[in-house]
A = this chain, B = another copy of it.
Amino acid sequence: MKQSSETLTSLSSVNKAFIEPFPNSKKVYAKGSRDDINVPMRQIKLTDTIGDLAEKNDPIHVYDTSGPYTDPTKTISYRDGIESVRSNWIEERGDTELLDGVSSNFSIERLNNKELDELRFEHLRAPRKAMKGKNVTQMHYAKKGIITPEMEYIAIRENCLWQEYQDQIGQHQGESFGAATPKIITPEFVRDEVARGRAIIPNNINHPETEPMIVGRNFLVKINGNIGNSALGSSIDEEVGKMVWGVRWGADTIMDLSTGKNIHETREWIIRNSPVPVGTVPIYQALEKVKGVAEDLTWEIFRDTLIEQAEQGVDYFTIHAGVRLKYVPLTMNRVTGIVSRGGSIMAKWCLAHHTESFLYTHFEDICEIMKAYDVTFSLGDGLRPGSIADANDAAQYGELETLGELTKIAWKHDVQTFIEGPGHVPMHMIKDNMEKQLEECGEAPFYTLGPLTTDIAPGYDHITSAIGAAQIGWYGCAMLCYVTPKEHLGLPNQDDVKTGIITYKIAAHAADLAKGHPGAQIRDNALSKARFEFRWEDQFNLALDPDTARSFHDETLPKQAAKTAHFCSMCGPKFCSMKISQDIKGLDSATVEKIQEIQIEMDKKSEEFLDNDSEIYLKEGA
């Protein structure tokens, strides 16, 4: 079981491709009401429009999940972890205390194991916990009317400085299906949404490195990237690399789904280096602790795992407490049974013991742990459909109703909660999922995996699922869990992670546009304007993936001159539709007037012509 030390050597150096700033972009920080609220954004600088339509093009600000990694002023060292953004805020609230050491038996055991020394993160901090009787969740503060620095940070972050030019730029109104995002997000709005349970801020007090972010229907649609080793492969440095790579391209949260070697140590490295919230499925690790024998799981082992992970700083836990014994037989006639790993573990346990799931019976005990560290519930959809055939069936919807009940219990404890959703669903059945979730779960945020809209394209399930993800995001889903091209087939490598993230950024952004999220269209407009004006470099730099855009252009027109050429490879230099449009843009009013005169006359002729036609048509068609 000993991991080779060679693995960790590569953690000493950071892959340059992971941390170089984006082209012609600058990390800027928007200041809040206090000196220690500095909200990162990526500023993309644009070149001027030249020629007849000459004008200056303002820089564009985009939401930035990459943390310190794209800031050249920061020194990055995986071995030291990243800076803590939130330590002051947590401390000054005065409702938490540093423990003498880790509380979980498993953590103690791992810590005392000398063999693990060489792969252990060096700068372990004492864990922090709520003082006795205190509740330290953002929801708890919100309900009390307290606006935390996290909430203010989020308000600034969600606005992206767009208010400065939001009104100057045309944007379609959108169709929001009941979502109601104000033109400007205020800290009070953030507080109110969190208090109502309509949004969550996944921010464990033991993960002060997070740059606060929010998940809710009235905010920008977020995406999650899954990483994690398995029994069959990967190492700590690969997983940390995937995390850094993932946030570079836009992952708003990361889930560490490790089921392989050294899960505990791997997680520590990931969290200490992650600027985004980290989620886990604790039952995966609990299962490893009982050597993979589901029926040997106990509440005590699970509880110890929750504390272990909460003290490391996991921001949200997927808990499959909705997999109740009674739903298990409902999956018997499914085409693909239970495909959720967590769901099937619990189903197996329930069947073996012929009793209710301990996650369900101990749900309030779990709430007690969650509120002591501010871990958010991600109520798992253990019975999600694994095929088009099984979509929206009794097992899935039965579980969803239970998740609704559990949401209300969690809220009673002021524990932040969001709800996981499917899965595999044909397009016409997606909306029903969203509507039922909103209704059953009191508008708690929905967090879906895809959904995949067909089963017939393994190898391309990032696409089958992006089609569904964009739609459910539009209908109101708050966070989309990415699917990589390797889904159903193998473990994603670095390229797959990037492809998954970019694909889901597309889905999330398409959803923002369709919802009419204020300011969402600014980037589209800027990129389209750059495209129209042959500002190639601006077009690349505004793209979700500037590297790929640039390299594709290079493939056909590699010369640097082509980057300033007023044509592209599609039409070539001789005739160009964009150029003609630019001529049209420059038409003088006399010409336009003349066209109108000509047209009035021609319209008259044409009407006569069409009258004749439709007469003939009616005659022949009759």
Chain A interface residues (CB < 8 Å from chain B) = 170, 172, 174-175, 230-233, 259-260, 287, 291-292, 294, 324-326, 328-329, 331-341, 343-345, 347-348, 351, 354-356, 386-389, 391, 405, 408-409, 411-412, 424, 426-429, 453-460, 462-464, 466-467, 470-471, 474, 485-486, 488-491, 493, 502-503, 505-507, 509-511, 513-516, 521, 523-525, 527-529, 531-532, 539-540, 542-545, 548-549, 552-553, 555-557, 568-575, 577-578, 580-585, 587, 591-592, 594-596, 598-599, 602-603, 606, 610, 613-614, 616-617, 620-621
Contact = CB atoms under 8 A, between A and B. Distances in A.
A339 B577 contact: yes
A592 B463 contact: no
A491 B356 CA distance: 59
Work out how many copies of this chain go into the complex. 2
Given A389-B528, A598-B354, A557 B459 contact: no
Contacts of A573: 231
6 contacts: A232-B557, A337-B580, A427-B511, A455-B524, A457-B505, A486-B552
Contacts of A458: 527, 531, 539-540, 543, 549, 552
- Describe A's contact surface by its main secondary structure: helix
Contacts of A453: 470, 506, 510, 513-514
Contacts of A510: 426-427, 453-454, 464, 467
A394 to B, nearest CB: 14
B570 A528 contact: no
Q: Top 5 closest A-B pairs, CB basis?
A: A337-B581, A490-B556, A231-B572, A387-B528, A344-B577
| Best-surrounded residue of A230, A324, A428, A454 (most CB of chain B within 10 A) | A454
B556 A409 contact: no
A454 B388 contact: no
Contacts of A474: 427-428
B292 A584 contact: no
A170 B389 contact: yes
Contacts of A553: 489-490
Contact of A514 (B427, B470, B490, B514): B427
